[in-house]
């Protein structure tokens, strides 16, 4: 039997603290006018000092399990997309397994930066091919503000924190979505374009101040150029290989990094602007959580009715990029 990968409704969790552009203008040399005109971002959410990405992931996971009518003991796998783990080890997935009271599930994190949701869809589909009975809790959990250099105005205005969760399985349930296709790609030759520090290459001694390599760094202009080209091409590719055109897509959900990138990709693909979902103004770039946050909001707003086809696309550090077709 062919495995069908189905997603239960996605639940999102963002921190309560909101940082507006005006707040940022008090700590770095920027302005609301510059940020809005160059990025479309007006505010973003920031973790409290005593919260971590796993706390957001746990709250989203509890809601996703409730929504799917499942007990944590019924899960077979927990996988988490993140480029901002609480610690290098243990994984957020194991922290979630402990917090939820899961059984002896296979639990691991992976890092595909902002393409994490799409890479995760490809992973869960592969798990379901191996095990049709699998029930996978798929979480995206990010704490980008923990790696922002607040004196670097070219990056600190762009990112925010957030998490999402859903259950993926082969079982058909009301309100779920079917993964129709997914493509995940990368170009490792461009791995220096965006880096998020704090790994083992940051060799600090106890008590020593961290250096600039601890923080997120990005060549914004180059990233922008590659992002527009890669997302446009991969969307055209996935549509073509499924015999579809942009007019067959009811909702286009691009990675929420920058409104100008979203508009450039939408225009190149000939997307009707009324069918392009954006919430970058509220959350900024939440990396792997960006597309699922958008999908959760779109569902709450009634923009993904049963039968609706969604095209999602993302790019991120690595460079990684991809596209997926989902049918609700």
Q: Of 114, 127, 167, 293, which one interacts with ligand ACO (CB under 6 A)?
A: 114
Nearer Cβ to ligand ACO (97/293): 293
- Closest listed residue to residue 322, CA positions, set 176, 132, 123: 123
257 binds ligand ACO, rule: CB under 6 A: yes
Q: Binding of ligand ACO at residue 80 (CB under 6 A)? A: no
Do the beta carbons of residue 159 and residue 216 sit within 8 Å?
yes
Lay out the site mask for ligand ACO across 4-33 (x = CB under 6 A, - = otherwise).
--------------------------x---
Token digits of residue 169? 């399985």
Q: Quick check: is 285 catalytic?
A: yes
Query: 114, 138, 139, 144: which is closest to 47 by C-alpha?
Result: 144
Restricted to residues 305-324, the positions that interact with ligand ACO (CB under 6 A) are: 316-317
Is residue 110 a contact residue for ligand ACO (CB under 6 A)? no
Residue with tokens 């180059």: 222
Does 38 help bind ligand ACO (rule: CB under 6 A)?
Answer: yes
Instruction: Show the binding pattern over residues 135-174: x = contacts ligand ACO (CB under 6 A), - = does not.
Output: ------------------xx--x-----------------
The beta strand positions in the chain, using DSSP E, are 6-7, 11-13, 17-20, 43-46, 77-81, 106-110, 135-143, 161-169, 177-186, 194-195, 217-218, 251-254, 309-316, 320-327
Q: Which is nearer to ligand ACO, 9 or 318 (CB)?
A: 318
- Cβ proximity to ligand ACO, 38 vs 327, nearer residue: 38
Q: Considering only 90-98, 174-182, 217-225, 295-303, which stretch makes contact with ligand ACO by CB under 6 A?
A: 217-225
State yes or no: residue 214 binds ligand ACO (CB under 6 A): no
SS3 of 209-256: CCCHHHCCEECHHHHHHHHHHHHHHHHHHHHHHCCCCHHHCCEEEECC
Gyration radius of the chain over CA positions:
19
- Judge whether 255 counts as a catalytic residue: yes
Q: Is the Cβ of residue 108 or residue 150 nearer to ligand ACO in the bound state?
A: 150
**Backbone dihedral angles phi then psi of residue 289, each to the nearest 5 degrees:** -80, -10
Question: Total number of residues binding ligand ACO (CB under 6 A)?
Answer: 24
For this structure, is 77 an active site residue?
Answer: no
User: Whole-angstrom Cα distance, residue 294 to residue 310?
Assistant: 11
CA distance linking residue 199 with residue 7, whole number of Å? 32
Say how many C-beta atoms besides its own lie within 10 A of residue 187's C-beta.
Answer: 13
DSSP assignment, residue 74? G
Quote the CA–CA distance of 108 and 111 in Å, as a whole number.
10
> Which of the following is catalytic: 83, 114, 166, 235?
114
Residue 184 lies near ligand ACO (rule: CB under 6 A): no
Q: Binding residue for ligand ACO (CB under 6 A) from 34, 108, 110, 214?
A: 34
Residues 189-208 that bind ligand ACO (CB under 6 A): 194
Q: Which residue is nearest to ligand ACO (CB)?
A: 220
Sequence-distant (≥ 6) Cβ neighbours of residue 87 within 8 angstroms: none
100 binds ligand ACO (CB under 6 A): no
Residues at the contact surface with ligand ACO, assessed by CB under 6 A: 30, 34-35, 38-39, 113-114, 153-154, 157, 194, 218, 220-221, 223-224, 227, 257-258, 261, 285, 287, 316-317
Active site positions, annotated: 114, 255, 285
């Amino acid at each position: 039997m062919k495995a069908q990968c189905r997603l239960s409704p996605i639940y999102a969790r963002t921190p309560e603290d909101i940082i507006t552009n005006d707040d940022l203008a008090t700590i770095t040399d920027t302005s609301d006018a510059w940020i809005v005109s160059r990025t479309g971002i007006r505010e973003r959410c920031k973790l409290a000092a005593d919260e971590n990405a796993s706390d957001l992931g746990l709250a989203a996971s509890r809601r996703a399990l409730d929504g799917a009518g499942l007990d944590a003991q019924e899960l077979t796998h927990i996988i988490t997309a993140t480029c901002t783990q609480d610690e290098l080890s243990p994984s957020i997935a194991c922290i979630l397994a402990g917090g939820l009271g899961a059984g002896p599930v296979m639990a691991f994190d992976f890092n595909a930066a902002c393409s994490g949701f799409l890479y995760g869809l490809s992973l869960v589909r592969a798990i379901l091919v191996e095990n049709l009975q699998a029930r996978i809790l798929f979480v995206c959990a990010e704490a980008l503000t923990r790696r922002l250099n607040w004196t670097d105005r070219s990056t600190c205005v762009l990112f925010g924190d957030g998490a999402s969760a859903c259950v993926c399985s082969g079982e058909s349930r009301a309100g779920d979505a079917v993964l129709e296709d997914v493509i995940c790609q990368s170009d490792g030759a461009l791995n220096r374009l965006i880096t998020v520090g704090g790994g083992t290459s940051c060799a600090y001694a106890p008590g020593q101040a961290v250096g600039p390599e601890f923080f997120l760094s990005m060549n914004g202009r180059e990233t922008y150029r590659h992002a527009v080209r890669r997302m446009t091409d991969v969307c055209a590719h996935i549509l073509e290989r499924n015999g579809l055109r942009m007019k067959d897509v009811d909702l286009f959900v691009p990675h929420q990094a920058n409104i100008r990138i979203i508009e450039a990709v939408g225009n190149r693909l000939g997307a009707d602007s009324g069918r392009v979902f954006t919430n970058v103004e509220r959350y900024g770039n939440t990396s792997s959580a960006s597309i699922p946050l958008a999908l959760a909001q779109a569902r709450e707003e009634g923009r993904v009715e049963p039968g609706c086809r969604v095209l999602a696309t993302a790019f991120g550090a690595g460079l990684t990029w991809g596209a997926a077709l989902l049918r609700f």
